[in-house]
Structure 1
């Protein structure tokens, strides 16, 4: 015959408040009603990264030439930058969209192509700003090369 073990108070399962299981599980990105977005375009010579955020800086969607399937030197092309911009904007383009700000950083060839793709998407642009960091007589150059 099985022995009955009395339950002690410390082994009683307690409801777990504040755990991850009690929260609503689902996609946060489905119910977004954002009226103003900021589109960050980072164009280097090897890749172009497009990030869409709200005005507080929280990332809504992002894409790059590498995630769009381009490999090697083709990541730095203007067509790859255009594809990355279209993929990043596709998730947030909705009729409630009022305006967007575009911040472009870097010297790469994908700058203009990404901006052209953003303009063709139908989003109203409030301003376009170049935020490429420029050194104000910054670091000391390396010493002269002796051959």
Structure 2
């Protein structure tokens, strides 16, 4: 039995996760998801099953503050994302664009000159069918 001032230590056999997942087989086709907001542009590449291969945004490319919301920042971000995807072996993609930001137009310009085989471009921006309930009218 330990004394009052001594600490007891228990040993545990625990293993820490390795930190990164690896894709089992390399695929040459994938999906490109672009979320173009008014403040940022996020680009994610996935394989056909939806597992993320690579991603980037305007902040990770090096833009800060209001410069993140420019079309040039979106263009640079998309070029960086395409370069990462080509290194992973992606050749043909399906493109899904979401949001109203400046990255929407930049996507089409960069993709035309990217050298990737584009199977489809889809706009998946959510549109409210009835919208939110309006506020009560103000009492006089």
Q: TM-score, normalised by structure 2?
A: 0.77
- Counterpart for residue 101 of structure 2: 108
Please tell me whether Structure 1 or Structure 2 has the larger radius of gyration of its CA atoms: 1
Task: Indicate which of 26, 40, 43 corresponds to 2:36.
Answer: 43
Deviation, structure 1 residue 117: 1.6
Kept in 2: contact 1:78–1:114 (CA 8 A): no
1:70 aligns with 2:63: yes
1:79 aligns with 2:72: yes
Q: CA separation in 1, counterparts of 2:128 and 2:20?
A: 45
Size of the aligned set, in residue pairs, is 128
Q: CA separation in 1, counterparts of 2:118 and 2:76?
A: 19
Pair 104,27 (structure 1): closer, same or farther in 2 beyond 3 Å: closer
- Counterpart for residue 54 of structure 1: 47
Pair 143,33 (structure 1): closer, same or farther in 2 beyond 3 Å: same
Deviation, structure 1 residue 97: 3.9
For 1:59-94, what per-residue CA distance to the aligned partner results, in whole angstroms no more than 9, with x for missing partners?
A: 111111111111111111111111111111212215
Q: TM-score, normalised by structure 1?
A: 0.73
Structure 1 unmatched runs, 5+: 1-15
Q: CA separation in 2, counterparts of 1:126 and 1:132?
A: 19
Q: CA separation in 1, counterparts of 2:79 and 2:110?
A: 6
Q: CA RMSD in A?
A: 3.0
Kept in 2: contact 1:36–1:100 (CA 8 A): yes
Deviation, structure 1 residue 109: 1.2
- Counterpart for residue 4 of structure 2: none
Q: Is the partner of 1:93 in helix, strand or coil?
A: helix
Q: CA separation in 1, counterparts of 2:47 and 2:79?
A: 17
Q: CA separation in 2, counterparts of 1:141 and 1:124?
A: 45
- Counterpart for residue 8 of structure 2: none
